């Protein structure tokens, strides 16, 4: 198997990244288009049109795409080829595989969720190379986990395994967790701002950096700014979030006994400064032997783990066909 260019596509909530990869994992060319306000079939046609254009223009310069993989920001149902993506309107049960196949013809296509693609990307070209048991913990606007078990993605009975944003980590239950889950409510990008808002409400005398910001506009980035200025409320916010991140990592260690846990997503990023503190917190809680054996690392492919994973899906899909 030589010279088999792969097409990787990462559909996000706001934009779509297309890239042609060599089978060895280098990006040959790359393009991003904005999703805009498109929904339903309009969003679908933007993607299938982009694929068509890319296949054609590649073919004009002598590159014949042999296989395509797509990462979707939500859930992929492997038995039906349909996707559920909360941030694209009308995609509650969208037949993406069917739509894409109409465009790609003989080129095989395979789809999976962004969290599954992210761990596969790290296994192929990132910090989980060579691992067969590894987890990608994605902390951004939401929180999810891509989990590799014995070299295979953990899907569960209905393709919704890895919903770690729902992990219960602190009693008592709070009605505000509904719609997010305990972990995501407290420790996603928006969660950081929520924790800070609660602390601000509890500290009416506070007059630091954050008091100059309209509370309705408070975002994680303000907390990082405040933290860098030595703000105590920001420090308290992150110390709470570090406890959540550390406990979640510990629970992944105890349950899965993985070789690696990769921490990525938009917040890691800036929150990588807390990685030593998160490791220390995880070590207190986790099964001690598994804890000694695991490596906890940042993503080696920031913003691109899912794109690489989509191309790896494409690669594995033709390798399997060749084996058959």
Member of 31, 89, 102, 173 binding a second copy (CB under 8 A) = 173
In the complex, what is the shortest distance from the CB of residue 260 to a second copy, in angstroms, rounded to a whole number? 9
In the complex, what is the shortest distance from the CB of residue 285 to a second copy, in angstroms, rounded to a whole number? 4
SS3 content of the chain, % helix, strand, coil (to 5): 45, 20, 35
Member of 218, 220, 241, 250 binding a second copy (CB under 8 A) = 250
Task: Please name the residues in contact with 64: beta carbons below 8 A apart, sequence gap of 6 or more.
Answer: 5, 58
For the CA atoms of 85, 91, 93, 99, what is the dihedral angle to 10 degrees? -110
Within residues 108-167, the interface with a second copy by CB under 8 A covers 132-133, 145, 147, 149-150, 152, 154-167
**Considering only 28-36, 57-65, 169-177, 202-210, which stretch makes contact with a second copy by CB under 8 A?**
169-177
Question: 218 is written with which tokens?
Answer: 């408070």
Member of 36, 202, 293, 321 binding a second copy (CB under 8 A) = 293
Q: Does 277 bind a second copy (CB under 8 A)?
A: no
- Which of 27, 160 has the CB closer to a second copy? 160
Q: Are 224 and 269 within 8 A, CB to CB?
A: no
- Which of 155, 222 has the CB closer to a second copy? 155
Q: Does 181 bind a second copy (CB under 8 A)?
A: yes
State the Cα–Cα distance between residues 113 and 78, nearest whole angstrom.
10
Member of 21, 136, 209, 256 binding a second copy (CB under 8 A) = 256
Q: Does 289 bind a second copy (CB under 8 A)?
A: yes
- Which of 19, 182 has the CB closer to a second copy? 182
120-117-154 Cα angle (round to 5): 75
What residue spans of the chain are helical by DSSP H?
40-60, 96-104, 114-125, 182-187, 189-202, 220-228, 232-256, 275-285, 288-293, 305-323
Within residues 182-211, the interface with a second copy by CB under 8 A covers 182
State the Cα–Cα distance between residues 309 and 305, nearest whole angstrom.
6
- Which of 2, 157 has the CB closer to a second copy? 157
Sign of the torsion angle spanned by Cα atoms 103, 7, 57, 51: positive
Q: Does 239 bind a second copy (CB under 8 A)?
A: no
Task: For residue 172, say if its preceding peptide bond is cis, omega within 30 degrees of 0.
Answer: yes
State the Cα–Cα distance between residues 249 and 285, nearest whole angstrom.
9
Member of 42, 87, 259, 270 binding a second copy (CB under 8 A) = 259
- Which of 260, 304 has the CB closer to a second copy? 260
In the complex, what is the shortest distance from the CB of residue 169 to a second copy, in angstroms, rounded to a whole number? 7
Number of residues that bind a second copy (CB under 8 A): 48
Which positions touch a second copy (CB under 8 A)?
A: 132-133, 145, 147, 149-150, 152, 154-173, 177, 181-182, 243, 247, 250-251, 254-259, 281, 284-287, 289-290, 293
């Amino acid at each position: 198997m030589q010279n088999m260019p792969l097409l990787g596509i990462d559909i996000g909530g706001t934009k779509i990244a297309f890239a042609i990869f060599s089978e060895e994992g280098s990006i040959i060319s790359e393009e991003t288009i904005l999703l805009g306000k498109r929904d339903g079939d309009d969003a679908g046609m933007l993607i299938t049109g982009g694929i068509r254009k890319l296949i054609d223009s590649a073919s004009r310069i002598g590159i014949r795409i042999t296989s395509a993989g797509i990462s979707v920001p939500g859930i992929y149902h492997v038995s039906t080829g349909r996707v559920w993506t909360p941030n694209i309107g009308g995609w509650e049960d969208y037949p993406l595989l069917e739509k894409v196949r109409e465009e790609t013809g003989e080129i095989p296509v395979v789809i999976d969720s962004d969290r599954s693609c992210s761990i596969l990307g790290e296994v192929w070209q990132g910090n989980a190379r060579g691992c067969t048991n590894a987890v990608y913990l994605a902390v951004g606007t939401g929180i999810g986990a891509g989990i590799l078990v014995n070299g295979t993605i953990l899907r569960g009975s209905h393709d919704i395994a890895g919903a770690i944003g729902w992990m219960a980590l602190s009693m008592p239950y709070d009605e505000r967790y509904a719609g997010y889950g305990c972990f995501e409510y407290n420790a996603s990008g928006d969660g950081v701002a929520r924790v800070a808002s609660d602390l601000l409400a509890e500290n009416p005398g506070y007059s630091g950096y954050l008091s100059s910001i309209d509370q309705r506009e408070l975002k994680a980035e303000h907390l990082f700014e405040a933290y860098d200025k030595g703000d105590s409320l920001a420090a308290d916010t992150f110390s709470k979030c570090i406890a959540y991140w550390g406990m979640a990592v510990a629970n992944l260690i105890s349950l899965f006994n993985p070789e690696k846990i990769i921490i990525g997503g938009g917040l890691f990023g800036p929150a990588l400064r807390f990685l030593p503190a998160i490791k220390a917190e995880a070590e207190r809680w986790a099964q001690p032997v598994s804890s000694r054996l695991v490596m906890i690392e940042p993503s080696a492919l920031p913003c691109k783990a899912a794109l690489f994973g989509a191309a790896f899906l494409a690669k594995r899909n033709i390798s399997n066909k060749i084996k058959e």
